[in-house]
Structure 1
Amino acid sequence: MAAATLSAPDAEKLSKLKAAVAGLHQISDNEKNGFINLVARYLSGEAQHIEWSKIKTPTDEVVVPYDRLAPAPDDASETKKLLDKLVVLKLNGGLGTTMGCTGPKSVIEVRNGLTFLDLIVIQIENLNNTYKCNVPLLLMNSFNTHDDTMKIVEKYSNSNVEIHTFNQSQYPRLVVDDFMPLPCKGHTGKDGWYPPGHGDIFLSLMNSGKLDALLSQGKEYVFIANSDNLGAVVDLKILNHLVSNRNEYCMEVTPKTLADVKGGTLISYEGKVQLLEIAQVPDEHVTVAVLHCIECCHPFSQIVSEFKSIEKFKIFNTNNLWVNLKAIKRLVEAEALKMEIIPNPKEVDGVKVLQLETAAGAAIRFFDNAIGINVPRSRFLPVKATSDLLLVQSDLYNLVDGFVVQNKARVNPANPSIELGPEFKKVGNFLSRFKSIPSIIELDSLKVSGDVWFGAGITLKGKVTISAKPGVKLEIPDGSVLENKEINGPKDL
């Protein structure tokens, strides 16, 4: 289909690739077709060019403020009817490698000995028990996480939650030099393959048979979220709004802070709502500006762009998505979901390879009556690094029925900013360096570098910087209270 627009050399390239992919026995025909279609679109140069002047800020009808949503029904039987239309789907394809863990990231312990997956199951179990409903949990695994996840979910066999798993597509990495699949070059192990981003969710739901099975059970909406986002819990007000207004797609967005400048944002474009990612922003809207640090008044240069501006684009995508299942089926069958392709260059054993990926949020423009909802920041609590783990394990949060809830004793609604040095990057090292997690209720910022070890019962307040000199082990004694302090050695304690 897309091959018709290819140049002669690219058409020949695609033809050779097709022949090579046909011989890959590790993947299904559906996966082979999906991969070839993706490559054909990539080679054709198919891209959606954004005209900057046509970008409009979405109105409150397009990006609905959360506090304008009608309350959820009071009647428990009405709530049950709503919830019986729902499926929760967690993206479970990622490994915990960035935090020094092996296996699925969802089995990292978050709090009180409970993992991300434990908390998710407890939350849904509470819903099902409270309202006598049946909200199933789907886990979209990748070939990297499938085997481990299948063993892990056995421990939930007695819970009141139906758990289903399916794998997202497995595509071969492309060798940049000759555009041939890496597995054809002798890389037959896992490093020859990749999962093509969470935009693959719609196709994989269909190909796995899960989509038709859910529709046959009367399910209408799927709530999709990253398994490491502790704020991504079922919200009855959102579900009620979507069912009442027949919205086929909803993206939860939340106000941007300076930490979120790279996150995609929602725009109105030619009468439709769509996701604008930084890769789509024309170069002329990226400029170098000289800013002044308010605290020290030293000038420094920083790349600032209109896209990153929290004035022009005030919201960003949390990747909490609510999608109508019938609409997914319609669009997948029509091959209409042509999200922007994200080329992701990698290197495997010195060989330059390319993986082509898509993002689920970019699908918003293909659905009818699609909206954003501007949700409170509490619905975006991802754990991407050990600095995030410190936040959620601390007294900043309480655990209530599987929900991680901010402690009301915290006056500042924003979380403190935390920077931990490379010594704390791996979960094992992080845990060994804290006898107990400090109290940070009154903390504004923490910066730690070097060989630092924390005793038990420590309290941190205001702005705290702890920096151990090279080759020096710096131990913070049990019971220390550090408020607006800069610690460079034992003498500062």
Structure 2
Amino acid sequence: MGSPGLAAAVAKMRDAGVDEVAVQTFAHYYRQLERGETGKIPEESIEPVDMPALADAEVSEEDAAAAIRTTAVIKLNGGLGTSMGMDRAKSLLCVRRGMSFLDIIARQILHLRQSYGAPLPLILMNSFRTSADTLDALARYEDLPVEGLPLEFRQNMEPRLLADGLVPVSWPKDPDLEWCPPGHGDIYTALRGTGLLDTLLEQGFERLFVSNSDNLGAVPDAHVAGWFASSGAPFAIEAVRRTASDRKGGHFARRKSDGRIVLRETAQTLPEDQKALQDLSRHRYCSTNNIWFDLRAMKEALDARDGILGLPLIRNEKTVDPSDPSTAKVIQVETAMGSAIEVFEGAQLIEVGRDRFIPVKTTNDLLVLRSDVYEIRDGFTLEQVATDVPFVDLDGDYYKVVSEFEKRFPEGAPSLTKASALRVKGDWTFGPAVQILGDVSLETDAAQRIDAGAVFSDDEVAKA
């Protein structure tokens, strides 16, 4: 098995009952790590990419309905929302009217089944940390499970490695911190290792739609399913035009050496290429993480590679205890789900509207989602009713953690339909029916409460 560090990591995984395909996949990336590979994608090796738009795709109602009837849905649901101070599945966060992300997702699926007479199974890829809470929350939807298919499968786990020596971390006071998920690129390994890929094929499903559970815009839309089915592509990703808020994130490009589409994440970008990464006029598209793939093509690719798809390595450096930067540095070996696009010849990108990309990564995003910028329509889809999505920047000292954020919006979010930006510096508690009009900044050195019905107008800076 090679080095002592790798032997120790493999033994630890096997002792924990990790699937052998996942063990061998981890070993594949460990060897790359040992060789000093970083997974970096130099700017000089890529060029900008263009793509067709979904708005221009002609799909008949018949083709759309036929495609959605042979589509299954997976939601990535392994995240705990630790960056927002959570210790359970982020998808259990309340969005509005007592409904969580999971509630809305379940109701979207049940509505689509009824509309199209489609089985449309919903399966969640949970982590060992999110499984129990998630299944408890979905137990109320008795019609959600599809006979012969599980409601969840588990993301694999792997040892975190000490940056000094690449040996598995030992952390007796919280053994959970010794483990990490292998990134959402693990979905392909887990699908094969659990047998779910074969089961879906046996039951007559032809394609999978995969998306994040914290993106309520990622509805398994029949029109998109029809486009993908008729394209003949083995793999496709929905992309959106990058905005200022996406400047520091990953993007699509085309590799010069072979013409394949690649997804370059921030962690794969060299320091000297950060300026190019952030150039929205050069690299114009980012991933929604809404992914479609042909089940048969995926099985063939995995079988040909002994279960190891060979996605680009992401070397993610953290500390043993994420809340304590003084603890030892560790390396998490990860891969990105979307990077599989470079594996498949004929893979495609399709530009979609921002209505299919409403991610919640911070409490800034959560405030917009809970506000009147969006309305929940028939079928439990979100519709943007504001002309533009406002830029929100809440003071991290008071609003980063969900529990503190909610204390400061006890009556709900302010009206943001006519806002272009809201910047909050300091400790402000919002009363009911507050309105933000245009570009507004609030600044204070001491705790302040905003009265019910207060209106802050364009270019206003309120200091207290």
* TM-score using structure 1 length: 0.85
What CA deviation, in whole Å up to 9, does each residue of 1:162-194 have, x standing for no partner? 7620011111112233332225x7578211111
Paired residues of 1:267 and 1:273 also in contact (CA < 8 A): yes
1:21–1:32 Cα contact (<8 Å) kept: no
Percent of matched pairs sharing the same residue: 34
Distance in 1 (alpha carbons) for counterparts of 2:234 and 2:447: 56
CA distance 1:351–1:154, shift in 2 (3 Å): same
Q: How does 1:200-211 map to 2 (within 5 A)?
A: 200-211=186-197
2:35 matches 1:41:
no
Which residue of 430, 434, 447 corresponds with 2:405?
A: 430
Q: Which residue of 173, 176, 186 corresponds with 2:163?
A: 176
- Asked if 1:487 corresponds to 2:462, the answer is yes
Q: Which moved further from structure 2: 272-281 or 313-322?
A: 272-281
How many angstroms apart in 2 are the aligned matches of 1:205 and 1:19? 20
Deviations 1:203-258 (A, max 9, x none): 10110111111000111111111110111111222211221121111111111111
In 1, Cα distance between equivalents of 2:11 and 2:49: 46
Judge conservation of contact 1:91–1:224 (CA < 8 Å) in 2: yes
Shift of 1:262: 2.4
Contact 2:14 2:20 in 1 (8 A): no
The Cα of 1:478 is off from its aligned counterpart by 1.1
Q: How does 1:343-382 map to 2 (within 5 A)?
A: 343-348=315-320, 350-382=327-359
After the TM superposition, which of the residue ranges 380-389 and 207-216 deviates more from structure 2? 380-389
Residue by residue, what CA displacement relative to the aligned partner does 1:249-308 show, whole Å, maximum 9, x if unpaired?
A: 11111111111012222222222222233444455444xxxxxxxxxxxxxxxxxx1221
1:31 maps to what in 2?
22
Structure 1 segment 389-408 matched on structure 2, within 5 A:
389-400=366-377, 401-407=379-385
Which residue of the partner structure matches residue 241 of structure 2? 255
Q: Are the aligned partners of 2:428 and 2:449 in contact in 1 as well (CA < 8 Å)? A: yes
RMSD: 2.3
- Judged with a 3 Å threshold, the aligned counterparts in structure 2 of structure 1 residues 382 and 188 are, in CA distance, closer, same or farther, namely closer
Q: Spell out, residue by residue over 1:397-453, the C-alpha distance to the aligned partner (whole angstroms, 9 max, x if none).
A: 11112111111xx3x3x3111111121222232223222322111111111122211
Task: Verify the 8 A CA contact 1:263 1:317 in the aligned structure 2.
Answer: no
Matched residue, 2:421: 445
> Which residue of 2 is the match for residue 109 of structure 1?
94
State the structure with more CA Rg: 1
1:454 Cα deviation after fit:
1.3
Corresponding residue for 2:223?
237
The within-5 A match list for 1:73-472 is: 73-75=60-62, 78-159=63-144, 164-183=151-170, 186=172, 189-269=175-255, 270-286=258-274, 305-335=275-305, 337-348=309-320, 350-400=327-377, 401-407=379-385, 410=386, 412=387, 414-421=388-395, 422-434=397-409, 435-469=411-445, 472=446
What's 1:475 paired with? 449
**Contact kept in structure 2, 1:91 and 1:227, CA below 8 Å:** yes
The structure-2 alpha-carbon separation of the partners of 1:281 and 1:419, relative to structure 1 and needing over 3 Å to count, comes to closer
Q: 2:139 aligns to what SS in structure 1? A: helix
Alignment of 1:69 with 2:46, yes or no, is no
> Could you say which structure has the greater relative contact order, defined with CA pairs below 8 angstroms and 6 or more residues apart?
2
Contact 1:266 1:372 in 2 (8 A): no
Structure 1 residue 100 displacement after superposition: 2.7
SS at match of 2:186: helix
